[in-house]
Amino acid sequence: MRILIAEDDNLLADALTQSLRHSGYAVDAVSDGLAADTALRSQEFDLLILDLGLPRMSGLEVLQSLRTHNAMLPVLILTAADSIEQRVRGLDLGADDYMAKPFALSELEARVRALTRRGLGAGTALMRHGRLVFDQVGRIALVDDKALDLSAREVSLLEILLLRAGRMVNKSQIVDHLCQWGEEVSSNAVEVYVHRLRKKLEPSGVRIATVRGLGYCLQRATEEPASVQGSTA
């Protein structure tokens, strides 16, 4: 899951970045509204954390621009405690939630989890797929109440596939949602991550099907890939 933070307070931006990365998210940060608008137009994110008091282009202008070309990206607004009018304006322009500064990082992370689930149509922190259960809060996967031994990358990959279970996910989408700026993940590396995760999921009866030329699809063992018949490898 990939998050963009638009915040001009460098100390706060660094704290948010480190906290969210520690929780398993890929996080990028910009310090002005114009950079945020450029990033949002050119790359894919799963959530925007947006300060309203940005230089060069205000947070409200960034939000208004975003909603003209991306109606679905969840947006969490950060505001000063006394800026009620700005909060109302932000919600009217299409923000999904807001937090007044100062705030607890634990509460922000809980809201981030809720918004990313909502943005991809998942309604609970516990995601179930057959015998497999994934806890988005604890960042652990269980089969029959036994935790799977997954690396941080494998956990993030599993979350991406679970949130799109039954749909095709190509390598480019995986890289977009798995990696932050400055990270280089090759298509071969994605294949390695998928191979390792596939083997660890085998005991659960859940499999990652490969459809040549299209990508990967998380399925139960008896299912066929959506809209593609007899093409798994």
CA angle 194, 135, 165 (to 5 degrees): 45
What are the residue ranges of helices labelled H in 120-230?
152-163, 171-178, 187-201
d(CA 168, CA 225): 8
Q: How far apart are the first and last CA of the chain?
A: 26
Predicted TM-score of the model (pTM): 0.67
Residue 35 pLDDT > 70, yes or no?
A: yes
Give residue 229's pLDDT.
37
Residue scoring higher pLDDT (211 or 49): 49
Residue 215 pLDDT > 60, yes or no?
A: yes
Where does CATH 3.40.50.2300 sit in the chain? 2-119
pLDDT in tens, 108-165: 998 998 887 765 555 556 788 888 988 877 788 998 888 999 998 899 899 889 888 8
List the one residue out of 34, 33, 40, 38 whose CA is nearest residue 4: 40
Residue 182 pLDDT > 80, yes or no?
A: no
What is the percent of the chain with per-residue pLDDT over 70, rounded to a whole number? 89
DSSP label of 23: T
Pick the CATH number of 2-119 from 1.20.1090.10, 3.30.70.1070, 3.40.50.800, 3.40.50.2300: 3.40.50.2300
Give residue 232's pLDDT.
36
What is the percent of the chain with per-residue pLDDT over 90, rounded to a whole number? 39
Where does CATH 1.10.10.10 sit in the chain? 126-220
Return the residue matching tokens 């806890």: 135
- Mean per-residue pLDDT over the chain, rounded: 85
Tokens at 183, concatenated? 């990270």
- How far CA 173 is from CA of 28, 111, 160, 178, 182, in Å, comes to 16, 24, 9, 8, 17
Residue 220 pLDDT > 80, yes or no?
A: no
**Residues with Cβ within 8 Å of residue 213, at least 6 apart in sequence:** none
- CATH class of the domain at 126-220: mainly alpha
